[in-house]
Structure 1
Amino acid sequence: MSQATFKDATLMVVGGAGFVGSNLVLKLLEQNPAKVIIVDNLLSSDQSNVVDDPRVDFRYGSITDDQILNNLPDTLDYVWHLSCFHGNQSSIADPLADHENNTFTTLKLFEHLKKTKGLKKVVYAAAGCAVAEKTFDDASATYEDAPVSLYHDSPYSISKIIGELYGNYYWRQHDLPFVKCRFQNVYGPREMLGAGSWRGTVHTVWRNVTPTFIWKSLNHEALPLDNGGNASRDFIFVEDMARGLMAAALKGEPGEIYNLASGVETTIRDLAEMINEITGNPTPVDLKPARDWDRSGKRFGATEKSKEKLGFEAQVGVREGLEKTIAWTKENRDHIDGLMKQHAYFMKQAQAK
């Protein structure tokens, strides 16, 4: 029996111009689908990430837009819902925008998809941080059946849990073939500092820790280590994440949840030192106090279930992934610098208030 693939399938990636989404689209195209529909409003992504391929159908706008929803094909084979209001600190600055672009997008999409014909799987990007134990002591792996707290550090985390709840409802009530994938800390090429529209905070530019550290390190700046850098995360290379999302679509059971993780715990200080070593940054790290909103401490994801049920394992180690990401950043340095500069005026205005 031949292995299932996406050959000749009609696919949709909501958020397909984003960092993870565009890498997923590239991997999907390798399997020769009939069409890949990308829906993205470029709120936190860049037009250059839209893959240039005749099989790609890019539709600019939010998935909450009724015109976009009504113009989708009556039949879809697979859907990945990756769009969100990126990320924790932006959601703290503007909870209403997070609701509009995180929670409401999920509800509108699932309400539409419940009547879509031929749908084999809907894969939802959930967040490992939303269920991880809040600890600065030694961490243990977070499993898929970890308890869900009613107390969260950010509206982003809340929205991600609500998305899981909505998906569970539409699966049980309307047989939506819904699969949840809990992300860990994804990093890699195509994540651009400053991509998208101004979202009201400096975090429009400064995003996840890895691209921020790489940029500062390439510019011989001090890498800021909150709480001395003793927090830890599970870093997973974006191409591994794309493979995991594809495996979840082909092999995931509706109603189930899977960690997409490396299973390796890396402290933020170790990450900083590795990046500085690869780039040759001579500037010492900058030790800072803990962020007042962040109680997530140390965490990493359990990998047993995704390995057993999906046949998925991360293949790219942290050092190899960082080397690839740093090389990509160097190649795209001018473009990233331009994206960052376009927000300079707004950042100055915000800081002056």
Structure 2
Amino acid sequence: MIQNTEKFPKPDFGNKRVLVVGGAGFVGSNLVHRVLEDNPREIVVVDNLLSADVSNVPNGPRVRFVASTVTDDLVLGDLPTDLDYAFHLACYHGNQSSIADPIADHDNNNITSLKLFERLKDIRSLRKVVYAAAGCAVAKKTKDEPAATSEDAPVDLFHDSPYSISKLVGEMYGNYYFRRHKMPFAKARFQNVYGPREILGAGRWRGTPHTVWRNVTPTFIFKALHKEALPLINGGEDGRDFIYVGDLVEGLTRIAAYGEPGEAYNLASGRETRIRDLAALINKLTGNPTPPDIAPPRDWDNSGRRYGDPTKSMNNLGFLARTQIEEGLRQTIDWTRSHLEVIRRCMAHHADRVPEVKNYVA
């Protein structure tokens, strides 16, 4: 239960200068649109479009888009010295790509975090630096009935992917800059985010077909809209905590406004949804009559079942994931239907490497 909600009014970024690294991506672009509602002084969006599409970036006099990696010294040097808030959401997306190319994951995750934090430590106007951490990196892996993962869960030293490792390294670098340089660093531990603006195929080739088939929810929705069988890896027995992107973005703003530097906060629904149930719900909402396709487990994935505990975020930030999964999926399906042209354009860039894509973009 949320305590003292009167202490946590909706965060307001009016007349503030905000940096969003990775602001053309799925979560980042939704955050940019949310901050714009408050008439900020400026939003500086830095994104190299490695796994994003420029169509996600809103036009307007308050948005300055820098189409570059933030590791570029010229870009870092040109950042405003009077930033109020910084959100570090850039990453090398995602697990499968990091397995295919661990060096690229290191360069785009670890080096990005280190160089960005080294620059931000000198900007004394910053009220908060919010880092997109990964709840999966600390979640206990089980095939049995899971328990909610809290922020103080022990961290295993054996991980399924370089992506998971680099997300933890980003936390550690941020913790170092908080302690050594007093950088006001706070960690947002994401669960499985879904919602509008996640574009299949967005960005450049990242080593595997998962450049196109990014995450389970947009993949299921796209295939269901085309009346195809949804692939149930491990029979859909695994479970995840699905949080709607609008709720997660509100959580990010609350960490910026109310989070304590040095602390981690789960942005989670607090509920587990089995993948088989997700598939059944998407098929129902899209009217897809095709039965799912049972597929074997992935040889690298030991995640099993998990969900996050949002109690700390509820009590300390006034955070609540309000969007029920059926309503969130309806909104995501509607957005997908109205943006099929953009999605197919992005997918088409990878048609030579992922032959099945030609069925959608011809």
Q: TM-score normalised to the size of structure 1?
A: 0.97
One of 189, 202, 207 as aligned partner of 1:195:
202
* Equivalent runs, 1:122-161 vs 2, <5 Å: 122-161=129-168
* Equivalent runs, 1:8-27 vs 2, <5 Å: 8-27=15-34
What is residue 77 of structure 1 aligned with on the other side?
84
Q: Give the Å deviation of 1:90.
A: 0.7
Q: Give the Å deviation of 1:335.
A: 1.5
CA distance in 2 between counterparts of 1:270 and 1:298 reads 13
CA distance in 2 between counterparts of 1:331 and 1:218 reads 12
Q: CA RMSD in A?
A: 1.3
CA distance in 2 between counterparts of 1:92 and 1:99 reads 11
What is residue 4 of structure 2 aligned with on the other side?
none
What is residue 267 of structure 1 aligned with on the other side?
274
Q: Runs of at least 4 residues of structure 1 off by over 4 A?
A: 1-4
Aligned: 1:332 with 2:327: no
Q: Secondary structure at the match of 1:179?
A: strand
* Aligned 8 A contact 2:139 2:149 in 1: yes
What is residue 40 of structure 2 aligned with on the other side?
33
One of 191, 214, 218 as aligned partner of 1:211:
218
Aligned partner letter, 2:177: Y
What is residue 109 of structure 1 aligned with on the other side?
116
Aligned partner letter, 2:16: A
Q: Give the Å deviation of 1:2.
A: 10
CA distance in 2 between counterparts of 1:83 and 1:290 reads 28
Count of matched residue pairs: 349
Aligned: 1:290 with 2:297: yes
One of 152, 169, 176 as aligned partner of 1:169:
176
Aligned partner letter, 1:139: P
Aligned: 1:47 with 2:50: no
**Structure 1 residues 180-218: Cα deviation after superposition (integer angstroms, max 9, x where no partner):** 010000000000000001112111101100000000100
Q: Give the Å deviation of 1:89.
A: 0.6
CA distance in 2 between counterparts of 1:74 and 1:306 reads 30
CA distance in 2 between counterparts of 1:69 and 1:147 reads 34
> Matched residues, percent identical?
61
CA distance in 1 between counterparts of 2:92 and 2:321 reads 26
Q: Give the Å deviation of 1:53.
A: 1.9
* Equivalent runs, 1:337-348 vs 2, <5 Å: 337-348=344-355
Aligned: 1:251 with 2:261: no
Q: Give the Å deviation of 1:117.
A: 2.5
* Aligned 8 A contact 2:8 2:317 in 1: no
Q: Secondary structure at the match of 1:7?
A: coil
**Structure 1 residues 108-151: Cα deviation after superposition (integer angstroms, max 9, x where no partner):** 00001110130100000000000000101000000000001110
Do the aligned partners of residues 277 and 236 (structure 1) sit closer, same or farther apart at CA in structure 2, a change above 3 Å counting? same
Aligned: 1:90 with 2:101: no
Aligned partner letter, 2:72: D
Aligned partner letter, 1:35: E
CA distance in 1 between counterparts of 2:245 and 2:281 reads 18
CA distance in 2 between counterparts of 1:72 and 1:167 reads 19
**Structure 1 residues 289-313: Cα deviation after superposition (integer angstroms, max 9, x where no partner):** 1111000000000011000000000
Aligned partner letter, 1:147: P
CA distance in 2 between counterparts of 1:268 and 1:346 reads 27
CA distance in 1 between counterparts of 2:342 and 2:81 reads 38
Q: Give the Å deviation of 1:10.
A: 0.5
CA distance in 1 between counterparts of 2:257 and 2:226 reads 42
Q: Give the Å deviation of 1:264.
A: 1.1
Q: Give the Å deviation of 1:347.
A: 3.0
Give unmatched runs, 5+ long, in structure 1.
none
Q: Give the Å deviation of 1:54.
A: 1.2
CA distance in 1 between counterparts of 2:295 and 2:172 reads 36
Aligned: 1:314 with 2:314: no
Aligned partner letter, 1:325: T
**Structure 1 residues 9-29: Cα deviation after superposition (integer angstroms, max 9, x where no partner):** 100000000000000011111
